[in-house]
Amino acid sequence: SAVISQKPSRDICQRGTSLTIQCQVDSQVTMMFWYRQQPGQSLTLIATANQGSEATYESGFVIDKFPISRPNLTFSTLTVSNMSPEDSSIYLCSAEGGGFNIQYFGAGTRLSVL
Amino acid sequence: ILNVEQSPQSLHVQEGDSTNFTCSFPSSNFYALHWYRWETAKSPEALFVMTLNGDEKKKGRISATLNTKEGYSYLYIKGSQPEDSATYLCAFNTGFQKLVFGTGTRLLVSP
């Protein structure tokens, strides 16, 4: 299994600003994932981040809004840019670490945008 | 668009009650079905990965069954305890490394 440290755990931000969320994994992993959970909704995949290549974004998510970095096999960041109240969500990172694509998760970042 | 549904949305039981939840998923392109437990302010924790039709998995008081032909999985908790209070998520896996999650069942167990 993998242990993932995610920070910040929560933040309150002003409209129009940006927030960068960091995830550190305790072992080297090939694939990391970023999810969003809006109130009352399911966990939705934003993008897949592989080291050494650009992130692959899901339909409805764009790089300008959610730029992702993956500088090495243990670290990734997600930036939520030019925030609006609709970006208020829980953001989670995960890493694939077992058979059948088991993913291990960080504890999430609870973001409120005023 | 893959649709994964969970029911009920929320459940409130008394300590000692047994309970079960349902996860419905597409019956085609099945690779695996994952169950996670997510306690508030903690990381979602992997409970089970189920791959074969008829699979039954057990971990302590929690067990799960799988029917891939009809596209559903049940999660059972026997003798619920307050520490079982959490949101239980299922995720459908088509084998392309992406998980599609349901909205979860929020369980509250009162002492």
Q: Tens digit of pLDDT for each residue in A63-97?
A: 999 999 999 999 999 999 999 999 999 999 999 88
Contact B93 A105 (CB under 8 A): no
> Across the 111 residues of chain B, what is the mean pLDDT of every consecutive 10-residue run?
91 96 92 95 94 94 96 97 97 87 96 94
% of chain A with per-residue pLDDT over 70: 100
Kindly identify which residue of chain A lies nearest to residue B104, measuring between CA atoms: A42
Give the pLDDT mean for A2-11: 95
A99 touches chain B (CB under 8 A): yes
Which residue of A3, A34, A42 is the best one to mutate when testing the B interface, meaning the one whose CB has the most B CBs within 10 A? A42
How confident is the model at residue A23, as a pLDDT? 97
pLDDT of residue B77: 97
pLDDT reported for residue B22: 97
A42–B49 C-beta distance less than 8 A? no
Residues B97, A108: C-beta atoms closer than 8 Å: no
The Cα of B32 is separated from the nearest Cα of chain A by a number of Å equal to: 7
User: What is the band of A100 on the pLDDT scale with cuts at 50, 70, 90?
Assistant: confident
The pLDDT assigned to A97 comes to 81
Buried b (16+ CB within 10 A) or exposed e, B10-37: ebebeeeeebebebbbeeeebebbbbbb
Q: Rounded to whole angstroms, how far apart are CA atoms A21 and B103?
A: 23
* Tokens 């059948």 belong to residue: A100
CA distances from B10 to A39, A83, A106, B7, B74 (A): 14, 31, 24, 8, 15
Beta strand A19-25 with A31-37: parallel, antiparallel or unpaired?
A: unpaired
Say how far apart CA A76 and CA A32 lie, in whole Å: 8
B100 CB-near residues (< 8 Å, 6+ apart): A45, B2, B4, B25, B91, B92, B93, B94
pLDDT at A36 over 90: yes
Predicted local distance difference test score (pLDDT) of residue A98: 74
Question: In degrees, to the nearest 5, what angle opens at C-alpha B17 toward C-alphas B13 and B21?
Answer: 70
pLDDT at A57: 96
